[in-house]
Amino acid sequence: MMTPMNDRIIIKRDEPVKESDGGLILEAKKENIGEVVAVGTGHVLNDGTRLPLLLKVGDRVVFAKMTGTDIEIDDEQYIIIKEMDILGKLENNLGS
């Protein structure tokens, strides 16, 4: 794995399986829900102080569409985004 810089986080997207009633696999779109797998060291303010991120590894989140950078590490797909692009944190396994 890698460590994201500053206020960035790495998310493993949920992979939806779209199946028809007959069992055919349909086109699956990328989800904007996933699990945080790595976090950066925090926000850097103008005076050089660092604020820790609000999220931690293992948190399940909803993030903005059309944001971040898709990457592949060890044949797994991830997205690197800034914490400000997180729309919310899911509680009690909602969204799964």
- What pTM, to 2 d.p., does this model score? 0.79
> Domains in the chain and their CATH numbers?
8-90 (2.30.33.40)
Neighbouring C-beta atoms of residue 47, cutoff 10 Å: 5
Taking only the tens place, the pLDDT of each residue in 53-74 is 999 999 999 999 889 999 998 8
Examine the pLDDT at 84 and tell me if it is beyond 80. yes
The model's pLDDT over 10-52, given as tens digits with 9 standing for 90+, comes to 999 887 666 666 766 665 567 889 999 999 999 999 999 999 9
> How many Cα atoms are found within 13 Å in the side-chain-facing hemisphere of 86?
25
Token pair 């990457």 is found at 71
Nearest to 69 by CA among 77, 55, 81, 84: 81
DSSP class of 25: B
